Amino acid sequence: MLSKATAISLFTSGGIGDLALRASGFDILVSNEMMPERHAVFECNFPSATSITGDIWTRVGEIEEATRHRLAGRELSLLYATPPCQGMSKNGRGKLLNAVRAGRKPPSDPRNRLIIPTLELAKRLKPETLLFENVPEMSETVILDASSRAIGIIDLIREQLGSEYDGRAEVVEFADYGVPQRRQRLITVFTRSSELRAWFDSHGSVLPVPTHARTPRSGQRAWVTVRDAISGFPPLDAGTPSGATSDIPFHKVPLLDEMKYWWVRRTPPERGAFDNQCDGCGWDQNATHVANRAKDGINRASTATPLFCERCGSLLPRPHVERDGVKQIMRGFTSAYKRMSFDKPATALTRNLSYACSDNKLHPVQHRVLSLREAFAIHTIDRYVYHWCRKDGKRVADKVIREIIGESIPPLGLQCITDHLIAIRDGKGVRPRNERAQLMLELNARE
């Protein structure tokens, strides 16, 4: 992994994570993505890569052939893969594994099995290092392998790669690397590099020490906040067409209808609209919205939250629906229609980031959701050269942009990791023996 590091990218989407690889010095030779409208954005931004669009199950041979052609005898430095996460299980792995084996659970979501063709490519191409990125639940997810045997995904990776590779999976909080967003991901690194394996043996991890923290120590900086990321943008207001747009590309927001605008306008900083108080008499002691776990362990929002003022009977500015002429409190999580905090990192951006009902996505003080331009800043895309364009010249729909952001990894955080991998591989790692492990133990204890 010296000056001409090579990489292939699987489940590429629009190439947001690949920005980090490129910034770390990797030459991305081949990419594979199933969705053409997303891959077209990658192709626009990485025109020198060979793009193979389609289902990886049927494209393994084509990806292998294209990679070998582009390598021209060189070694593949990195296989980077971000399989879809929607099917990952939140159940404990041991409990789920026993249930599958006992026949009490059906076969896993087929999207979880995309690790199988990924590992087939790894065995054929023998990359020096593999880097997988997914939700933390991946570590607890059980699949049926090619022989219909129930096995944990991480166990399968270790088994298929064999003793030549060493590695582990770790949950990373990307706010700890200067990203103004709380986004936890499972970073799994397996390698046959002698330098990286030696680092594993000495430090227990090849991930860098966090540079930021909620409570900084030992040279760390405070978490980057929403205020740091977006306070410089011109104000917008979702109540009128003229107020919802600006001259800055992508700095615009969808209009809210009169009722939803009322809910949002009345929502105080760092609060949710379900807790709004009376506009009529000013009574501010109406019961607030709560959520409790039911017997099955699922988080259930209260259906008894008052929708009418308990003093004067006026309709409260709280999210509600009307059925057969009867107004009812809207079913939803307590984080719906809730304002972000200016002085903390944002909650994880999802594909629903432009909807007021999404999780903590109202602007901290303005009456609207985030603009896409603000989302670029919070996701750290604006730190890199990246264009929302398609190779075929067609416009990239806002929906596709949201999907690409919501299903990608903040490139700044990933670059901290890939830069560190390269530094170790090139003999420039600087952490003393066991210091990182000790620091992580202390940080985890405080959390």
Question: Residue 313: pLDDT above 90?
Answer: yes
Give 383-410 pLDDT, tens digit per residue: 999 999 998 899 999 999 999 999 999 9
In degrees, rounded to 5, the angle at the alpha carbon of residue 123 between the alpha carbons of residues 74 and 426 is: 45
Give 346-365 pLDDT, tens digit per residue: 999 999 999 999 889 999 99
Contact present, 377 and 227 (Cβ < 8 Å)? no
What is the percentage of the chain residues whose pLDDT exceeds 90?
74
Distance between CA atoms of residues 20 and 106, nearest Å: 38
Class at the top of the CATH hierarchy for domain 5-221+408-446: alpha beta
Give 208-255 pLDDT, tens digit per residue: 999 999 999 988 999 999 999 999 999 999 999 999 999 999 999 999
Calculate mean pLDDT across residues 325-331.
90
Calculate mean pLDDT across residues 157-161.
95
Instruction: Categorize the per-residue pLDDT at 150 as very low, low, confident or very high, splitting at 50, 70 and 90.
Output: confident
Q: What is the pLDDT of residue 112?
A: 77
> Residue ranges per domain, the chain?
5-221+408-446, 236-370
Contact present, 122 and 114 (Cβ < 8 Å)? no
Question: Residue 125: pLDDT above 90?
Answer: yes
Q: What is the pLDDT of residue 431?
A: 56
Q: In the predicted model, what is the mean pLDDT of the chain?
A: 89
Strands 326-329 and 320-323: antiparallel
Shortest CA distance to 179 belongs to which of 230, 233, 135, 225?
A: 225
Residue type, 299: N
Six-digit token pair at 257? 């209808």
Give 408-428 pLDDT, tens digit per residue: 999 999 999 999 999 999 888
End-to-end C-alpha distance for the chain, whole angstroms: 35
Residue type, 308: F
Q: Worst-scoring range by mean pLDDT, 71-85, 281-295, 398-412?
A: 281-295
Question: Residue 130: pLDDT above 60?
Answer: yes
Shortest CA distance to 297 belongs to which of 91, 88, 100?
A: 91
Q: What is the DSSP string of 128-169?
A: SEEEEEE-GGGGG-EEE-TTS-EEEHHHHHHHHH-TT-EEEE
Q: What is the pLDDT of residue 442?
A: 47
Alpha-helical (H) ranges within 312-395 are: 372-378
Alpha-helical (H) ranges within 204-288 are: 226-230, 258-265
Question: Residue 102: pLDDT above 90?
Answer: no
In degrees, rounded to 5, the angle at the alpha carbon of residue 1 between the alpha carbons of residues 45 and 132 is: 65
Look up the pTM and report it: 0.88
